[in-house]
Chain A
Amino acid sequence: MVNEEKVRLMTKLAVFEENKGKKTIPIGDYYRSDFISKNLLLGFITGTIAYFLLFAIWALYQGEKLVQRLLALDFGHIIFLVIVFYGIFMVLYLTICYLVGDYRYRRSVKSLKSYKKALKRLENM
Chain B
Amino acid sequence: MDTLYEIKTRIITFIEKNEIYVKPAAKFILLLMAYLMVYLNLGYYAKINNIFIPLILSVACAIVPMGLSAIVLGLYTAANLYGLGLEIAGVFLVLLLLAYLLYFRFARDKGFLVVLTPVLNMIGIPYTMPIATGLTSNPGSSVSVLMGTIIFYFLRGIKANEQVLLASEDALKTTKLHIALEQVLANKEMWLIVGVFFFINVIVYIIRRLAIKEAWKIAISVGGVVQLLLILIGKLVLGMPYGILGLILGSIVSVAICFVFQFCVFDLDYQRIERVQFEDDNYYYYVRAVPKVLVAVKEKQVKTFNETKAKREEEVEREIARELDIDPKNLK
Contacts and interface: CB of A to CB of B under 8 A. Distances in A.
Given A10-B280, A14-B276, A61 B94 contact: no
Interface of A: 2, 6-7, 10-11, 13-15, 18, 42, 46-47, 49-50, 53-54, 56-58, 60-61, 63, 93, 100
Given A7-B287, A11-B289, A15-B276, A60 B102 contact: no
Given A11-B289, A50-B101, A57-B184, 18 more contacts: A11-B278, A11-B285, A11-B287, A14-B274, A14-B276, A15-B274, A15-B276, A42-B105, A46-B102, A47-B101, A47-B102, A50-B98, A50-B102, A53-B94, A53-B98, A57-B185, A58-B185, A63-B174
B87 to A, nearest CB: 9
Contacts of B274: 11, 14-15, 18
A23 to B, nearest CB: 10
A2 B283 contact: yes
Given A53-B97, A57-B181, A61-B178, A10 B278 contact: yes
B182 interface: yes
Interface of B: 91, 94, 97-98, 101-102, 105-106, 140, 174, 177-178, 181-182, 184-185, 274, 276-278, 280, 283, 285, 287, 289
B98 A54 contact: yes
A93 B276 contact: no
Contacts, number: 57
Contacts of B97: 53
A93 B102 contact: yes
A53 B97 CA distance: 9
The dominant DSSP class at the A interface is helix
A63 B280 contact: no
B280 A6 contact: yes
Q: Give the top 9 A-B pairs by smallest Cβ distance, nearest first.
A: A14-B276, A61-B181, A46-B101, A50-B101, A15-B274, A14-B278, A11-B287, A50-B102, A61-B185
Contacts of A58: 185
Interface centre among A7, A56, A57, A63 (most CB of B within 10 A): A57
Contacts of A15: 274, 276, 289
A19 B250 CA distance: 37
Contact of A60 (B105, B140, B177, B287): B177
Contacts of B101: 46-47, 49-50, 53
Contacts of A13: 278
Given A50-B98, A57-B185, A63-B178, A100 B289 contact: no
12 contacts: A7-B287, A11-B285, A11-B287, A13-B278, A14-B277, A46-B101, A49-B101, A50-B101, A56-B94, A61-B178, A61-B182, A61-B185
A95 to B, nearest CB: 13
A54 B283 CA distance: 58
Contact of A10 (B102, B177, B185, B285): B285
Interface centre among B91, B97, B102, B287 (most CB of A within 10 A): B102
Contacts of B185: 57-58, 61
B106 A100 contact: yes
Nearest to B105: A46
A117 to B, nearest CB: 18
Interface centre among B91, B105, B177 (most CB of A within 10 A): B105
Contacts of B184: 57
A115 B185 CA distance: 48
Contacts of B174: 63
Given A2-B283, A46-B101, A50-B102, A18 B181 contact: no
Given A57-B94, A57-B181, A63-B174, A14 B287 contact: yes
Contacts of B178: 61, 63
A63 B274 CA distance: 57
A59 B274 CA distance: 52
Nearest to B97: A53
Nearest to B282: A2
A6 B278 CA distance: 12
A125 B113 CA distance: 45
Contacts of B177: 60
Contacts of A57: 91, 94, 181, 184-185
